[in-house]
Amino acid sequence: MKRLPIYTLAAALCAGTLMAIPPQPPEGYRWVINEQFSDNFDGDKLDSSKWMDHYNGGWKGRAPAWFNPDAVSVEGGLLRIRSGTLDKPKGRKGEFTMYGGAVSSKTRGAHFGYYECRAKASRIGMSTTFWLSNQKEPFTEKGDCKTDTYSQELDIQEAVGGNAAFPKFESSMNSNTHFRYVKCGAKKEEFISEGLSVELDSPVYADYHVYGAWWKNENEAAFYANDKHTETVAFRTDVSDRPFDRPMQINMVVETYDWQPPPTAEELENAEINTALYDWVRSYELVPIGEEAKMTPEFKVFEETVEFSTEAEIDRLSIAYSYKANEDCFLDLTLEAVDGDVLRHRKISAYQGFGHDTYLEMIKPELVESITIKLISKSSGRVLATANTDS
């Protein structure tokens, strides 16, 4: 009689199009899309219920580039942030002679979760970025001062697609974490930072890349390049024991840096290279696997899949499974004997999202010849994906 393998990988019925692949959630949880901070940019204008066409917080840009709301557009399924020259200087001292743009979330409710975007950088000496931030608030953790303040900044990607002063900004995912602190009685802000840089398989301007970060808790975040884990960063605790404790806003910004030579007028006016492109941005929250979804996403987030592995003990079989579903489903689990008789048939709730859990069946493993799990839509009864021990 065939004994079940210790590990069995499932096969999905559907394959294909480029979709989001967040990291596997912890056992007993699932990733659910947070629509307030997610967008496929499929319309013909920026969704004003989610986004601002400027920086939420009043920042106008770093000279010489001003954040121009007219540089922001949505077309062809893409968020576009264009750079260009100004007809005449702007600012109190005429410090702005060119422009980029900024898109920020309307609210600052993005907290622990997974945040990712798919983007292609412009090919000029300006940034293409994806990051989270908040505003200064009193720092009360130590309780010994009433005038010190802090804010947080989680930089998932900072790229420069052309003529980069530091070549890694053309070819890498450059991430950073900043606890931004103003000490008691001080005016100058102190950056308490920890970051990383990971080489990509092609330049940031040549192809679309997926940049992601799993903000796990107050003390660490894991970073992902093209759906692969690169490094987990522990936030520095020089000042605060819980440096990243507050919700933030999401930003997609094209700016000039003070360490990077600005682009030339010819580059800024070249429509072939002067625009940063964002295909989508997605945000996810971790929720218990058995908690019903509050709403169904407006757009398809996942390719529906199901997979599992098994671990056999003397009188029980552990089936560790994961699934991806864009709607509420159930898992149809069947255990068969060598003669084809059904030994067990179970239905397990599989609410919308990317779930991971373990099912324990009290049975002698040697009696089981095969296992099949189907992901089935609750509303239509349609089989969305199938996995079995023969896959």
Query: Residues 58-86: pLDDT tens digits?
Result: 999 999 999 999 999 999 999 999 999 99
DSSP string across 168-232: HHHHEEEEEEEEEEE-TT--S-EEEEEEEEEE-SS-TTTS-EEEEEEE-SSSEEEEEETTEEEEE
Reported confidence tier of residue 6, pLDDT bands at 50, 70, 90: very low
Read off the pLDDT of residues 276-287 as tens digits, 9 standing for 90 and up: 999 999 999 999
Round the CA-based radius of gyration of the chain to a whole number and report it: 24
> Please, what's the b/e burial string for 311-340 (b: 16 or more CB within 10 A of its CB; e: otherwise)?
bbeeeebebbbbbbbbbbbbbbbebbeeee
Give the integer Cα–Cα distance in Å for 228 and 210: 9
For the domain bounded by 29-288, which CATH number is listed? 2.60.120.200
Give the other-Cβ count within 10 Å of 56's Cβ: 20
CB-CB neighbours of 3 under 10 Å: 10
Domain 305-388 falls under CATH 2.60.40.10 = yes
Locus of tokens 């390719």: 303
Which helix (H) or strand (E) segment holds residue 266: the answer is helix 265-268
Q: What is the average pLDDT across 207-230?
A: 98
Active site (catalytic) residues = 153, 158
Does 29-288 match 305-388 in CATH topology?
A: no
Query: Tokens at residue 42, please?
Result: 């499929």
Confidence of residue 361 (pLDDT cuts 50, 70, 90): very high
Q: Where are the domains of the chain?
A: 29-288, 305-388
Q: What is the pLDDT of residue 4?
A: 47
Peptide linkage before 64 cis (omega within 30 of 0): yes
Cβ atoms within 10 Å of 255's Cβ, excluding its own: 22
Residue 220 CA to residue 215 CA, distance in Å, equals 7
The secondary structure of 338-352, three-state, reads CCCCEEEEEEEEECC
> Strand, coil or helix: what is 310?
strand
Element (H, E) at 332: strand 329-336
Q: Are 276 and 160 in contact (CB under 8 A)?
A: no
Q: What is the pLDDT of residue 299?
A: 85
DSSP designation for 109: -
